[in-house]
Amino acid sequence: MQSWLVICFILSVINPSRQQHTSEKSAKSLKCGRVEGGSKYSASANQWSSYLDHMEAAAKEVVECVEDEAGCSTCHYGVIKQDLSPFESGITRSDLNAAANISSVTKYQLINHELFRSEFCMFPFRCRGIEHFLLELLPELPDTEFYLNTRDWPMAGKYFGPPVPLLSFSKTRDFWDIMYPAWTFWEGGPALGIYPNGLGRWDNHIVSLGKAADENPWVNKALKGFFRGSRTSAERDPLILLSRECPDLVDAQYTKNQAWKSDKDTLGYPPAAEVSLEEHCRFKYLFNYRGVAASFRFKHLFLCKSLVLHIGDEWLEFFYPALQPWFHYIPVDPRADRDQLQSILEFAQHHDAKMREIAENGAKFIEKHLKMADISCYWRELLLQYTALLKMDIIKDEKLINII
């Protein structure tokens, strides 16, 4: 017995690294909340009870949308009313001139069921993604005229003057811009190595992501958070750093973007490979961050039937307001630090049934109320209500080109 103790003592002296590695591993497990009782950031030291209260309240507040006589979801029509409310006294030629004077906008006219556009379009593929729906609706629309912004950033700021009737795909509440469905429902979106022509074709993604969701049911999904994207905002940094410290809790890595010059642009690590949207479906918790403006991937993540954690509520697309936080997705403060993000993920792991329910709520909403037909319906309703406000005759601008 004494000989055995001596041997153990000798081994501990000549191989201290083994003990150190074990203790480091144990400390890391404690810090990452992967042991019995969780970590110091778990239930006893965070807002878990308030999360549950928010869920209970959201379930009572959510209002089920209905379809109109044409079979269109009415979920999003309140956004049209709100965006057009500054122009309820009418849109004059002077108002349109103010929109025309904004840099790099594109002019459209619909006349006698034909579509015309200024020759200039800052992003031609984005215009094509818009024109798919406009051409589809030509037989149903009256003569009209409008100016449209294809840039990511809205252009008619409330702090710079009176309301300007300019159409933009996303905005914050600090802008007058009137939201329209982004071109990504048909063509365009961010160009990536795996999507060289942009995301595009929402109808195809509905099918491919639905299949990926079926192949990765909730019970088989990896029990961790997931994110891939470039460093377009420092809001993403805490999640990336958490992933590096707690890889069993979240897999979050930066990829290259057009501005990438060195590993400094990816927080000191080599850029990760891009991951297809379908591959996202392998994980239970998917993080959605804004990019330069609103996030193009938000609508796609729901179709994985994974839990979507949406960071921030400043940026909007037309369909965001109809989604109910804590019922369709989990909202996350954009100022959340590494510890708060860890807490949210631990909360999700400890409330699996509730997270699955929210994931299913979000997927059902998108599947039911963001179909391709709903995009066409929104365009139709938007242009009908907008045109009803015009207080001038529509006279053909001979400088425009015919879009066929």
Catalytic residue annotation: 152
How are strands ordered across the β-sheet holding 106-111? Answer: 178-179, 166-168, 144-148, 106-111, 114-117, 401-403
Identify whether the C-beta of residue 294 lies closer than 8 Å to the C-beta of residue 301. Answer: no
DSSP string, 298-361: HHHHHTTTSEEEEE-SS-B-TTGGGS-BTTTBEEE-TT--HHHHHHHHHHHHHTHHHHHHHHHH
Q: CB-based burial of residue 94 (10 Å sphere; 0-12 exposed, 13-18 middle, 19+ buried)?
A: exposed
**Residue spans of alpha helices (H) in 65-201:** 77-84, 93-100, 124-137
Return all residues near 346 (Cβ < 8 A) that are at least 6 apart.
33, 38, 39, 41, 42, 249
Strand, helix or coil for residue 294: coil
Return all residues near 8 (Cβ < 8 A) that are at least 6 apart.
none
Q: CB-based burial of residue 37 (10 Å sphere; 0-12 exposed, 13-18 middle, 19+ buried)?
A: exposed
Find residue 222's DSSP bridge partners.
283
Q: Tell me which amino acid residue 105 is.
A: V
Rounded distance between C-alpha atoms, residue 303 and residue 216, angstroms: 12
- CA 289 vs CA 265, 297, 332, 346: distances in Å: 17, 9, 10, 20
How many CA atoms are closer than 13 Å to the CA of 372, on its beta-carbon side? 18
Return all residues near 139 (Cβ < 8 A) that are at least 6 apart.
113
The DSSP bridge pattern shows strands 114-117 and 401-403 to be antiparallel
Identify whether the C-beta of residue 290 lies closer than 8 Å to the C-beta of residue 234. Answer: no
